[in-house]
Structure 1
Amino acid sequence: MRHQELLDAVTDGVQRVEDLARALGISPSTVRRGLAELEQAGKVVRTHGGAVPAPAGGELSWTQKSLRHAPAKRRIAACAADLVQDDHVVLLDAGSTTTFIAERLAQRSGPTVVTSGLGPMTALHDAEGIELIVIGGRVRRRRGSIVGDYARGVLDRITADIAFIGADGIVPGRGVNCPSPELAAMKELQMRSARTVVVVADSSKVRAEEYAYWAVLPGHYVLLTDDGISAEDTRLLDADPACELRVVETAGGPNTPAATD
């Protein structure tokens, strides 16, 4: 099978695995392998049961990012929410995984949540048991984030018990990869304002460095990721004295058919 034929079919609107298999006369497992390779090339975004074309021009929106590796992200979010106690003040970064954390916390009563993300804000808007504080500033709609100098005025006056930080990539000894210096600065502010920092990133983000900008990690942080992480990446993270690695069990990690379809 040529990948271009599969990509053309997805672009033309045939986006479920079963439909693609019938249209191209190939097996569903062959479709899944092809979609996985197209996703690695940045051509498609995996969804539950299929794929959609990747956006032209690069950066995915936060809603599109929520479709990528969603089962692994939800398992990470469930474990992250379990770290929150009812009297905690929680900082939630913008992002898809942090939005899944917010959905979990919406069922709770007691925590105070401070967020710079439109996703977490929306998830917690009607949560009567949560005291919700939204960091002010300029809205970056594509990223679903709030940035700018207004945020510093809020974060300089808060000491959170725990901060959950999203990542486009994380590299031991380097930091959290970000698509803009504004987002990098926001992540650093949030990390400096919390007693405990937890980076929530599925295993595809480990050692990913797509962008030119970095948020510097604090002296100690927890990395919460899934069991799709490679042995080499595990070794490197374990060798980083600043990193406390915690691996969440999934159906085999985000890059396997069982976890993405």
Structure 2
Amino acid sequence: MRHQELLDAVVDGVHRVEDLARALGISPSTVRRGLTELEQAGKIVRTHGGAVPSPGGGELSWAQKSQRNAAAKRRIAALAADLVEDDHVVLLDAGSTTTFIAERLAARSGPTVVTSGLGPMTALHDAEGVELIVVGGRVRRRRGSIVGDYARGVLDRVTADIAFIGADGLLPGRGVNCPSPELAAVKELQMRSAREVVVVADSSKLHTGEHPYWAVVPGPHVLVTDDGISDEDARAFDADPSCRLRVAATAGGPITPAATD
């Protein structure tokens, strides 16, 4: 068992030992050992019969992340949304930048949007001109994402015109950084299910990879970022033959370092 998977489950609201064991397919004794080690690392707080996330020890929620580098993300979203035609089938990944894209698409008439994110779902809930399809599966509440076999079952049956993929980090030739293998699997399937792949990442995400998991970008793709991108990063992504770089001008103040989607 990887401790990150156990921590993800606790952060997502699975708090009792028995429920954690059932969700992860491991024994209660293995869960208890893992919780002990996570508590020693300051990631969780043990409770009677289970655990809760440590204050400040878990990841920020997707709503909190939407406030990080918001000006840059909104400019990226505006440029990305302009790539969508009214008759397109669009895949929207979970994340704050993809939620801003959904807000742009809410005023449109004609697109079909398939999403694995609670943020895009909320933004498009009342958009009468958009056909909204939400994939099923397990909800990771703090990430605002839907993962698992049910999600894969829907995505296996979709061919989209364009997919917008969020990132916790991005390396040329390596792919999209993710905090869990489940999220990486969903991102890869979304990318394989679309004719065009667009990775949306503000400039603080470029050349970073704090998590151990990666979603491999399957082929040619567009990277939409902001004009806080360094010359070095611009040269690196320009040198990647599979990547086409598009830069959105950012209105507002400086970019906050190391934000995550």
TM norm structure 2: 0.76
What is the 5 A alignment of 1:206-245?
206-245=206-245
What is the rounded CA distance, in whole Å, between the counterparts of 1:254 and 1:211 in structure 2? 25
Question: What SS is found at the alignment partner of 1:74?
Answer: helix
Equivalent residue of 1:161, what SS?
strand
**1:68 match: secondary structure:** coil
- Superposed CA offset, 1:26-78 (max 9, x none): xxxxxxxxxxxxxxxxxxxxxxxxxxxxx611411101110000000000001
Residue 153 of structure 1 and its aligned partner are, at CA, apart by 1.3
Determine the structure 2 residue equivalent to 1:138: 138
Shift of 1:186: 0.5
Paired with 2:210 and 2:59, the residues of 1 have a C-alpha distance of 10
CA drift at 1:252: 6.8
Unaligned runs of 5+ in 2: 1-54, 257-261
Per-residue CA distance 1:113-154 (angstroms, 9 max, x = gap): 000000000000000000000000000000000000111211
Q: Return closer, same or farther for 1:110/1:87 CA change in 2, 3 Å cut-off.
A: same
Matches within 5 A, 1:58-73: 58-73=58-73
For residues 154 and 254 of structure 1, do their structure 2 counterparts lie closer, same or farther at Cα, with a shift above 3 Å needed? farther
Residue 85 of structure 1: aligned partner: 85
Q: Which amino acid aligns with 2:126?
A: D
Paired AA for residue 182 in structure 1: E
Q: CA deviation at 1:249?
A: 0.9
Distance 1:86 1:114, change over 3 A: same
Alignment RMSD: 1.2
Report matched runs for 1:152-191 at 5 Å.
152-191=152-191
In the alignment, which residue of structure 2 is the partner of 1:11? none
Aligned to 2:150: 150
Structure 1 position 251, deviation (Å): 3.1
CA deviation map 1:192-235 (0-9, x unaligned): 00000000000000011111110001111100000000000011
In structure 1, stretches of 5+ residues that fail to align are 1-54, 257-261
Partner-residue secondary structure (3-state), 1:204: helix
Q: Which amino acid aligns with 1:136?
A: G
Query: In 1, distance between residues paired with 2:57 and 2:152?
Result: 31
Label 1:253 to 1:201 Cα distance change in 2 as closer, same or farther (>3 A). Answer: farther
Q: Is the 8 A contact 1:77 1:98 kept in 2?
A: yes
Kindly provide the amino acid, as one letter, of the partner of residue 128 in structure 2.
Answer: E
Structure 2: distance between partners of 1:114 and 1:242: 25
Provide the C-alpha distance between the structure 2 equivalents of 1:78 and 1:87, rounded to a whole number of angstroms.
Answer: 18
Note the 1:41-60 alignment, pairs <5 A. Answer: 56-60=56-60
Aligned structure 1 segments of 4 or more residues deviating by more than 4 angstroms: none
Secondary structure of the 2:189 match is helix
Distance in structure 1 (CA, Å) of the matches to 2:251 and 2:84: 24
Q: Which amino acid aligns with 1:81?
A: A
- TM-score, with length taken from structure 1: 0.76
Paired position in structure 2 for 1:107:
107
Q: Given the alignment of the two structures, is residue 95 of structure 1 paired with residue 67 of structure 2, yes or no?
A: no
- 1:89 positional shift: 0.1
Work out whether residues 72 and 255 of structure 2, in 8 Å CA contact, stay in contact via their aligned partners in 1.
no
**Residue 129 of structure 1 aligns to which amino acid in structure 2?**
G
Contact 1:92 1:114 in 2 (8 A): yes
Alignment size in residue pairs: 202
